[in-house]
Amino acid sequence: MTVPELNEKILAAKKKYPAMEGITFVGGEPLEQANEVAEVCKFTKQQGLSVMIFTGFLLENLQEIDSPVLPYADVLVDGLYVQELRTLARRFVGSTNQRMHFLTNFYSPADPRWAEPNTVEIIYKNDQFQVIGFPFNSISQNFGPKKNKE
């Protein structure tokens, strides 16, 4: 998908969902396309929306290389997800090594929404379940990928 196509989708979503606050970039690794992501982030900010980015890179490394996304990110979650450090205790953060940085005043770390428990959305479509979010173990076991038991 091209940057203009994605920008059009953002406009369409904003029109369809007027209460939409912003967009979130998640993995793979969105910053492997940092220039393109920065273009979309800039457009998003021009629309009055927020930008949240999850990246395996650390903020300090992004600052060192003067990453083009930093001027547009409101919230940056940095650090690789580590399965052995998985946590459900922190909103929007999957493992305890990850850090949440509030880079603008769009959101405040004191906002009570950040202290709410993690959530999960289960979508059933075309005879398949899709799990989005930070599922609890029981959800992962019941709806996650099935392993061959041979």
94 versus 148: the higher-pLDDT residue is 94
- For residue 145, what pLDDT is reported? 53
Q: Does residue 9 lie within any of the structural domains?
A: yes
Determine the average pLDDT of the residues in 4-19: 96
Q: How many CB atoms lie within 10 A of CB 115?
A: 10
Look at the block and give the residue holding tokens 């450090």: 85
Is residue 127 one of the residues assigned to a domain?
Answer: no
Measure the CA angle with vertex 104, ends 101 and 110; round to 5°. 65
- Residue 67 covered by a domain: yes
**126 falls within a domain:** no
In a domain, residue 136? The reply is no
pLDDT tens digits, 63-114: 999 999 999 999 999 999 898 998 877 778 888 899 999 999 999 999 888 8
Cα torsion angle, 28, 34, 40, 41, sign: positive
Is position 108 within any domain? yes
For residues 29 and 38, what is the distance between their CA atoms, to the nearest angstrom? Answer: 14
Q: Which domain holds residue 16?
A: 3-117
Pick the more confident residue, 58 or 149: 58
Burial 77-108 (b: 16+ CB within 10 A, else e): bbbeeeeeeeeeebebbbeeebebbbbeebbe
What pLDDT, on a 0 to 100 scale, did the predictor assign at position 29? 93
Residue 121's pLDDT band, with cuts at 50, 70 and 90, is: low
| Structural domain count of the chain | 1
pLDDT digits 0-9 by tens, 19-49: 999 999 987 799 999 999 999 999 999 999 9
In whole angstroms, what is the distance from residue 7 CA to residue 69 CA? 16
- Residue 150 is predicted with a pLDDT of 43
Residue 90 lies in a domain: yes
Residue at 45 is within a domain: yes
Question: Is a pLDDT exceeding 50 seen at residue 124?
Answer: yes
State whether residue 131 is helix, strand or coil: strand
